[in-house]
Every structure is written in C-alpha cells, then in structure tokens.
Amino acid sequence: MRKQAVSLLAMACLCPVLAGAQTQTAAACRADNAKQIVVTGNGLGRSFQNPCFSPNGQVLAFTNFTQRYNTGKSVVRTVPSGGGAVLRALSPTTAQSVNLPGQCWSAATDEVVYSSDVVDRDEVYLVSATGGSPRRITNRPGSLAWEPSVSPVLNDGSRWIVFESHSEANPDAGGELWKVRSDGTGLARLTQGHNDRQPEWSPRGDKIVFQREVGQEAWDVFTLDVADGNTFNVTSDGALFNTDASWSPSGDYIVYSSGDDDIEIANLFVIPANGGSRIRVTRSCGLDGAPGWSPDGSRIAFESAPFDPDAQGSTTLWVIDAPAGIR
C-alpha cells in the first residue's frame, strides 16, 4: 500500500529487539498458516511493504519505508523470497520510491517498475533487477504518477505500463488510470470521472484490475478490458473496503484485501475474475494487505501488522499458501 510523502527525519534500521517483539506479537495475532518473510541487512527502514515476486519466484521486490508505515523516504529493494539479507537497493535512498505488489517485474527484460519523486514529482521509472541506473519513463508536469504495473509482451511486441494519475496541485482528489509504452511513448488516459487506484496488468495482457471508490468509505475491485475499455465490477459489494487487488498467474482469480463483520481491519480474499463467491485466505486480528501471487501459483506474499498501521507502527512481509486448486 502506498502513500502521501511526509517530510520526517529518516530513521535507522529496525533493531533486533524491536523486530523480535513485533514478530512475536504478529504471530500471536494469526489463526492461519502464514509465515513471516524475515528481512535483514544494514540501514533498513522500519516498514516492509508491497511484495512482488520475480518471474522465477526466487526473489521479492518490496518497498521499504524509513520512518513507519507509508511515512518518510522509501526505497525499492530485493530480498530472497524465503527471506534473508537484502540483495540490493533498486531505487535511490534519497527519495520516496514505491513499487506496486503483484505485476511490478517484467519477465521480458528483468526490470522492475516503480514510481519515485527523486527528481521533481512522482514519475514512473524502470530499473534492471540486477541494479544500475533507473530509466525515467514519464515526464508530466502538473501530474503525479503512482502505482505502476508493467504488462507482459503483447501480440504486437510492445510492453505497456499502467499507473494511477493525480493532479499535482490536488493529489488527494480522485485518481485516473493512464498507460504508457515502456519506451515512454503512447501516453493515454484509460479512465476518468471516478476515483480509480492501484491498477495491475493481467498476466495475459488483456485486462487491468484496479479499485474504484463506489461510495463513502467504500471501494470495489473492477477489471478493465484493454481492447474495448469496458469495466466490470468483480466484488460488487459497495459496503466494504475492497482494495489492493492482484492477479493469480492464470489470470482466472484475483486476490485482494477486505473487511467483513468479524474482521476488525482487513484480511485477504480470493475471488474469480469474472465474479462470484469469495474465499477467505488469511485470518489475522490486524491488517493483511498488498498481496502478490507467486508465478507458480502456490504462494501469496503480503504485508501485515497486528494493528492498524495507518494509526501506528509498521508492517512486515508474510507469505501463505494459495487456496487448494486455485492458481
């Protein structure tokens, strides 16, 4: 999950005592088989968010906020998907740089897409997963680009990036979905007149999943058909906070974060992409959000906290088995 930049003093790495205490509390909060992905290394920020699997499933890209959840500078880093020492930082440490969970990693070029305000305002960047200089994709004075996701190679050989766009003068106003080719050409608006956020390109390249505000404090998960622009309300609830949607590798299912009568904050659910009954995936007393599905369909990584991280503290990375028979 992403958020507004706040100018606060960056904090040093999470100390082992605090990390251990937070892990124990988080584990006690759970009533499922999820396991924490422990991230170690020098100079890490406090909050670990937005896990995104590499095409071979062996590495995760994630956003590391320095101060706390969605607060302070942030760096896109990589770590083995089973946990361990950070492999490298992919974005500058002097900016707020954020990747989207799910489809952030291009199998065609082994690049990771993210947004960053490193130069002037939030724009889209691509960087090699092995490190190096990021390549700026968008340059839109007066607008902000958040939450980018990269498509697979389409039938015409092109790759596209979809992102959430906001007015720089009023970033809290409603979001629109835009797309641009990976070489920076072909910029085009996809939606307008709504508050649309967190888009993710499907594994087949034919659809985009996103969340749309459908009422006061209410969001639904939608898909957009890339060919004809038609939208479909997948969750069709209107009374819940259905957010953070991400595709299964088959493109037949969507995992997302949502509440319920017996859920205080939010847990993860899976639903068919064409709508239907949802399946509860996680059981936690706190927040489970920002899910990303592994390429083989067996695991779902996510961010979690045993409390509301918007109000306090930070999140850690976790992984859970996907529901049986669902890929």
Q: What is the pLDDT along the chain (327 residues), one digit of tens a residue?
A: 544 332 222 222 233 333 444 555 788 899 999 999 999 999 999 999 999 999 999 999 999 999 999 999 999 999 999 999 999 999 999 999 999 999 999 999 999 999 999 999 999 999 999 999 999 999 999 999 999 999 999 999 999 999 999 999 999 889 999 999 999 999 999 999 999 999 999 999 999 999 999 998 899 999 999 999 999 999 999 888 999 999 999 999 999 999 988 898 999 999 999 999 999 999 999 999 999 999 999 999 999 999 999 999 999 999 999 999 999
User: Rg of the chain's alpha carbons, rounded to an integer?
Assistant: 18
Which pTM value belongs to this model? Answer: 0.92
b/e sequence 104-123, b meaning 16+ C-beta within 10 Å = bbbeeeebbbbbbbbeebbb
pLDDT of residue 18: 37
Task: State the pLDDT at residue 24.
Answer: 53
pLDDT confidence of residue 22: 54
- What pairing do the DSSP bridges indicate for beta strands 39-40 and 84-85? parallel
Question: CATH: 3.40.50.2300, 1.10.3720.10, 2.120.10.30, 3.30.56.10. Which one for 16-321?
Answer: 2.120.10.30
Instruction: State how far the Cα of 75 lies from the Cα of 95, in Å rounded to an integer.
Output: 7
Residue type, 241: F
Q: Say how far apart CA 62 and CA 233 lie, in whole Å.
A: 28
Residue 244 — φ and ψ, nearest 5°? 60, 45
Q: Which two tokens stand for residue 65?
A: 């906020």
What is the predicted pLDDT for the residue at 8? 24
What pLDDT does 48 receive? 98
Q: Which two tokens mark 192?
A: 């307008």
- Cα–Cα distance between 180 and 163 in angstroms, integer? 8
Ordered by start, the domain boundaries in the chain are 16-321
What does the pLDDT read at residue 14?
Answer: 30
- Please state, in angstroms and rounded to a whole number, the distance separating the CA atoms of residues 147 and 279: 26
Q: What angle do CA 234, 252, 248 make, to 5 degrees?
A: 100
Burial class (CB in 10 A: 0-12, 13-18, 19+), 233: middle
